[in-house]
Amino acid sequence: MFLAQVPGGIIPTLLSGLQALIQFIPVLIGALVILLIGYVVGKLLQKGVTKLLQKAGVDRRMKDTHVGAWLERGGEQATVSRLTGRVVFWLVFIFGLVTALGALGIASVTTFMNQVLAYLPNVLAAIAIIVVAGLVAGAVGGIARRTLGQTATGRVVSAAAPALIMGIAVFMVLTQLGIAPEIVVITYTAMIGALALGLALAFGLGGREIAAEMLRTGYRRAQRDQQAAGATRTEAEAPAGDAGWSTTPAESRGETPRHAAPGS
């Protein structure tokens, strides 16, 4: 009796909706399975990448760099190997999420996630730039400390060179991520110009006396070498010039030879 009182258009609509729901359940289960697979694979890759970087000694090499000092503020868990492992996990998980949403057939969400997925290589490249720059900065700082020692120049170079490398890396990261590229290029150009001008002034004014002393020392050394070469050449030519003259022992001693009287 109840179905007889229900308008005729509602029953087909309810049946159609129920049929669509029943057809959607396998798709939903498939999307959840894809998401679960992405999660598991991401976790496995996270552990593998973390252990690989730890065995390679990346954390130890990055410890003395600016990146390592910044990461130490986050505690023991904030290491390059662990952070890289987490990034790998999220990359794989987001890829699985995009695939799952694509399986659901939600057009707007799928388009957005595809844009996010297309941007992820830039993030990965930026992380690689920071890691490589940190390793290079640490190596340069260590070489400067070992080569120049604890001198004033050594302290300046060991601090300034890594900072310069990391500064350039920051601009490269911003460019890779596409964050205000015009402003980044202008700022980078201005910074390099100011740095070049500062170095020119520092070496031109501060190193003027040192440069003059180096030039004087080089000039004196060249003069001494030239005089020594001339003296050597003179000594080598002297025997050849006196070869046609014969001297007696008395003459060689500077005595006047006595000539024998006639008839003796």
The predicted pLDDT at position 9 comes to 59
Please report, in tens digits, the pLDDT of each residue of the chain (264 residues total).
Answer: 444 454 555 777 777 777 777 877 888 888 899 999 999 999 999 999 889 988 887 777 776 666 666 666 655 566 778 888 888 898 889 888 888 888 887 777 778 877 887 888 888 888 888 878 888 887 887 787 788 777 776 777 777 888 888 888 888 888 888 887 788 888 888 888 887 777 677 666 656 666 677 778 878 888 888 888 777 777 766 554 444 444 454 444 455 555 444 444
Tell me the residue type at 210: I
pTM of the complete model: 0.54
- Nearest Cα neighbor of 158 from 64, 91, 86 is 64
The predicted pLDDT at position 252 comes to 47
What φ, ψ does residue 141 adopt, rounded to 5°? -65, -40
Residues 6+ away with beta carbon under 8 Å from 134:
62, 65, 66, 67, 68, 80, 166, 169
- The domain spans of the chain are 184-222
CA 57, CA 68: separation in Å to the nearest integer? 13
CA 79, CA 205: separation in Å to the nearest integer? 43
Q: Find the Cα–Cα–Cα–Cα dihedral 162, 165, 169, 172, rounded to 10°.
A: 170
